[in-house]
Amino acid sequence: MRLAGSSDANPFACVAAGIASLWGPMHGGANEAVIQMLREIGTADRIPEYLAKAKDKQDAFKLMGFGHRVYRNLDPRAKEMRVLAIRCIAEFEKASAAAADADAYLTSSAPVGAVSVDDVRFDGAELRMLFELATALETAALKDDYFVSRKLFPNVDYYSGLALCAIGIPLSMFTPMFAIGRSIGWIAQWKESIEEPVRKIGRPRQLYTGEPPRSYVPIGERGGLGPSAAAIHRETSFTDKLSPVQMHGEDAFGYFT
């Protein structure tokens, strides 16, 4: 947000930059990634298999929702989020069970922000199963010295996704919900930055670790590299087979026929 704002971008563009930076599964999208991971694991008997995959450096699988740059021991938020998640799931199960009889369930008892059962992509049984799987995975991981020695404990994202599902938030909206809470801080950062008496454009430092200086070899003198990308493009590009008139004609691309 602040880096984008240093270029005098408007606040809407800066907020969009903040959301884009937040979106990935290694940050704001972590709670969505946890749900997807739990669905992939499926059952508790597969937990040892996936813990082994997480410890295998050659395997792309990552144990999502574990570890934090600041909380190097237990994340105190995770404990509270676990309680909140099971409470939300219990309320969702209560609403789902009474859905056939509107008079049996009072609207005032519904969790804040809940939507109709038909709008939720999870049912109560699946949410309960995912929660139990999450607790079993947490227990198994905390008994494994590999994760404990590396201080990989559950963080707040581990259970927050289950709570969001229970109150009717679709997976695709997890990051926007996360961003809503941060937006006031983002705007404050933007406002503070534009009011600074001396402003400079943000330029993150980079340390080049690539190849040392090398002599340029003309492309025609490079042996053993096969055809150049330009040559391949010329052979495969349909535009090279068209006349100048065809290339600039609307009908040539089929968009207007």
235 three-state secondary structure = helix
Residue 241, token pair as written in the block: 């087979």
Residue 88, token pair as written in the block: 């939300």
Phi, psi (deg, nearest 5) at residue 66: -120, 140
Residue with the two structure tokens 């995770």 = 78
Catalytic-labelled residue, pool 68, 119, 144, 233:
68
Residue 38, token pair as written in the block: 């739990």
The answer to whether residue 248 is catalytic is no
The answer to whether residue 8 is catalytic is no
101 CB-near residues (< 8 Å, 6+ apart) = none
User: Residues 94-131, buried b or exposed e (16+ Cβ, 10 A)?
Assistant: ebbeeeeeeeebeeeebbeebeebeebebebeebbbbb
Catalytic-labelled residue, pool 157, 233, 240, 251:
157
Which residues are designated catalytic?
68, 157
